Structure 1
């Protein structure tokens, strides 16, 4: 059966992030990616000044209404960056319209990093993101976003495994069956993610060598690769490691080339290895 994903994200004209990353990654995995844009930007907001921004809230319901009327089945619904507080309610309604009995709902609560909200986000939006996470089967927050969802102050990277498992468990109590926390470190040399499956009680970890610097769009790359792995039948820990390896390889390739990190990472050159890791060419 054709795997089909409704990707509810923004589109930035410049800079590898959001839909410009998510669509090719999911396509490489064999899934049809249907874009439902939340906002249109001339570039992403991470260090690129003078960007333009258009909120597409009023257009979103029409996308979902047509898709629902056409009775198009979706394997997954995947939301990320949202342009306004009102969009949280709109996306919740879209989930209700398009979700089928076997549809996986992944919410990436894209709203903050390094202890700070993104420029287009407000405290109200951050608070209401919890509502959207209650509709999800899987959520993929980073450490800052996890703290906002739980009402905890940002304290940097957790120092002990017990702290990570406590955060994962509390996030699962919000409603999702699976939680993946990104930006988790193991010592000073490795960075990756930690996961928790509430139904089995299992915890998972996936790491790769740390690369210095900050690279916009890597959260979108990770979450789309994770979803691709899950849709290909990988168990959570396997999908996490595939996503970590693909993301880290893209970061390392970009760092080695010395290109402007503000423009995102070179994920394109890693697509053949990603396809192999998914087992598509076996």
Structure 2
């Protein structure tokens, strides 16, 4: 018996409740050890009018080499926002050391959240070349969690008008995404998140060549960090050997409760969701 642990490859933001600042407490509440691997340090996220940022790229390799020297092993690796081609290259090195070079029994789950954009638009830092490099992370991924914008970009497809898309089309997109995987295509699991269903939000789940849509009532406005909370629950639940369907249901329910409370307090969108209120409900 041992406690599970996940390496979190993401930025650390002091204010605004996003990235590692959201993932770490949620994963810890699920009784999994969270080990941050910072890509940048920010005083507040980039949705604020002013912020301080310290890019961590030059420190990532020494940080990684120290973990290698300590002979650390992880049950999961969760990747998030990456700001440059160099950072993607460094994450590929991390995957080679801590996943591909491990015995099969010790090889961690690789969960790739390809954070690149939303609502049909890429973030300003994402150039076509950077998007092309992001595809390389999918080669060894066990689970990928793109939103519809990111899934379309990974497949070089146009974003559907108003974000409206059929389940059949989503299934076809998932089939195409599996071909970006270099090993057994049948093993990769996909969740396309944040699908517009009018008064509800859908998450399309692809597993074992079957697809399923799970819809949940849309709550209020969009808030920063919602996706980070969602994927943190998915990652921790999966390393504990829970099913993908139950993991998505748990994540969606937690985010829903947090959003209701956030709207009740009238929290500005860029201050994130009040997830702290419900941490003790996670199992």
Cα displacement (A) at 1:158:
3.3
Task: Judge which range, 159-168 or 115-124, deviates more.
Answer: 115-124
Q: Tell me if the contact between 1:22 and 1:221 (Cα under 8 Å) persists in the aligned partners.
A: yes
- Post-superposition offset of 1:58: 1.1
**Greater mean alpha carbon deviation, residues 120-129 or residues 144-153:** 120-129
Partner of 2:184: none
Q: With CA pairs under 8 Å and 6+ residues apart, which has the higher RCO, 1 or 2?
A: 2
Cα distance in 1 for partners of 2:248, 2:178 equals 17
**Contact 2:167/2:213, CA 8 A, preserved across alignment:** no
CA distance in 1, matches of 2:163, 2:256: 18
Aligned twin of 2:84: 84
Q: CA deviation at 1:272?
A: 2.2
Q: Which residue of the other structure, out of 117, 123, 129, is the alignment partner of 1:112?
A: 117
Determine the C-alpha separation between the residues in 2 that align with 1:272 and 1:205. 28
Q: Please state if 1:260 is matched with 2:265.
A: no
- Matches of 2:77 and 2:45 in 1, distance apart? 23
> Aligned pair 1:214/2:222, yes or no?
yes
Structure 2 residue 246 is matched with structure 1 residue 245: no
Note the residue ranges of structure 2 that are not aligned, 5 or more in a row. 182-186
Matched, 1:184 2:195: yes
Paired with 1:253 and 1:171, the residues of 2 have a C-alpha distance of 35
Q: CA RMSD in A?
A: 1.4
Matched, 1:153 2:136: no
Check whether the contact 2:6–2:35 (CA below 8 A) recurs between aligned residues.
yes
Instruction: Output the TM-score relative to the length of structure 2.
Output: 0.91
Q: 1:232 aligns with which of 232, 240, 245?
A: 240
- Which whole-Å CA distance do the structure 2 matches of 1:19 and 1:236 have between them? 22
Single out whichever of 145-154 and 251-260 deviates more from structure 2. 251-260
Question: Which whole-Å CA distance do the structure 1 matches of 2:73 and 2:237 have between them?
Answer: 19
SS at 1:9 equivalent: strand
Moved more, 254-263 or 168-177: 168-177
Q: Kindly provide the CA deviation profile for residues 195-225 of structure 1, in whole angstroms up to 9, marking residues without a partner as x.
A: 111xx22323322211131111111111111
Structure 1, unaligned stretches of length 5 or more?
Answer: 276-282
In structure 1, how many angstroms separate the alpha carbons of the residues matched to 2:90 and 2:239? 25
Alignment correspondent of 2:61: 61
Q: Aligned partners of 1:153, 1:212: CA distance in 2, in Å?
A: 27
- The answer to whether the Cα contact below 8 Å between 2:15 and 2:45 also exists between their aligned partners in 1 is yes
Task: Give the TM-score taking structure 1 as reference length.
Answer: 0.92
Residue 119 of structure 2 is aligned to residue 124 of structure 1? no
- List aligned pairs for 1:20-99, cutoff 5 A: 20-46=21-47, 48-99=48-99
In the other structure, the counterpart of 2:18 is 17
Post-superposition offset of 1:119: 3.0
Write out the 4+ residue segments of structure 1 that deviate beyond 3 Å after TM superposition: none
The more displaced of 176-185 and 14-23 is: 176-185
Alpha carbons of structure 1 residues 77 and 228: separation in structure 2 relative to 1, 3 Å? same
The aligned counterpart of 1:144 is 149
Q: For 1:201 and 1:166, locate their aligned partners in 2 and report how far apart those are by CA, in whole Å.
A: 10
* 2:194 aligned counterpart, secondary structure: strand
